[in-house]
Amino acid sequence: MAFRRKEYHKEEKCLNCGYPLVGKFCGECGQKAFLHKDSFLHMAAHFAGDYFHYDSKFWVTIKTLFTKPGVVTLEFNQGKRAKYLNPVQLYIFITTVFFVAAFSVSPSDKNSGSHVSDNSLRDTGITTTVNIEPAASSVNKHADKSEGLAPKEKTLSAYDSVQRSLPPSKRDGYFVSRIRRNSYHHSGDLTEELMHHIPKIFFLLLPLFALWLSLLFRKDKLFYVDHLVFAIHFHSVCFALLLLNILLINIFTNDLFNNVLSAVSIAGIPFYLFFSLRKVYSSGVLSVLIKMILLIFLYLVSFLFSAILLSALYLLYF
């Protein structure tokens, strides 16, 4: 049966943008040609349909990411995007939920005997993955009020008074003075404070991860944004896996189970990365393996450098 425009509304053009109507939807803005006053039930049903449409795209994306490594990235870059959630939306949603869950357990939970400590990132094994602990703890030693660069004076005013009493040649230099003065403002554990900045580091390293991919797989002649999509999907999977780890750790209290779960989760990430690279890029098995090792090395070096730089800036200026 042919479409009859007059069944929808009396205008020959879209009421939203004025584009000539051909079919049940406007070819310019997509608005329906059908015009009527919705009932409450119809509006509720429409809302539910829109919600579950988004929900279905999310679960289809997650399911395909985990069961078919690299397929979402490959199809997204090929233009098959309607059934998948936008990569940026996916990354923001997963990382937001992950870091909320990771930092949601309070010290009181730890003291009350809960299995998950107040530093859930450490429990999930993320410190093993990114190795932030050595960088942060090394700086923390200097910020500790009992050793290293920490001042001996108990208050900032006492420290300033002692510095003024010394001859200029004996006073602390600019950087030492900044660290010692700022140490009075860090009443808590510096490592704990720095851990809360990890989301910023990961977000800033996404384009750098894509850059390493573009250099290592330059023979594939892909656009930089294609590598960036791969980076976003890979990081989304990593955070989703660690989020699942957190949830299971909160449910189960068996130390052996949780340790095995964390080890399997961390060990599974390189395998997932390998199969994803094999799917998206045209290199052979050995070539992908070598490039993957280089990629992980460059990424860890970049992360450690960023963590140390953040720690230094934090001590000097915050």
> In the chain, where are the structural domains located?
5-61, 81-317
Residue ranges in the chain modelled with pLDDT below 70: 1-11, 34-40, 42-55, 105-151, 174-175, 179, 182-197, 314-318
- Looking at residue 118, its pLDDT comes to 43
What is the percent of the chain where pLDDT is above 90?
A: 26
Residue 36, pLDDT score:
58
pLDDT of residue 30: 77
Distance of CA 103 to the CA centre of its chain: 14
For residue 35, what pLDDT is reported? 62
Predicted local distance difference test score (pLDDT) of residue 67: 93
Q: How confident is the model over 203-231, as pLDDT tens digits?
A: 888 999 999 999 999 999 899 999 999 99
Note the pLDDT of residue 124.
47
pLDDT for 128 equals 38
Residue 57: per-residue pLDDT: 85
Determine the pLDDT at residue 287: 93
For residues 256 and 254, give the distance between their C-alpha atoms in angstroms, rounded to a whole number.
6
The confidence score (pLDDT) of residue 102 equals: 76
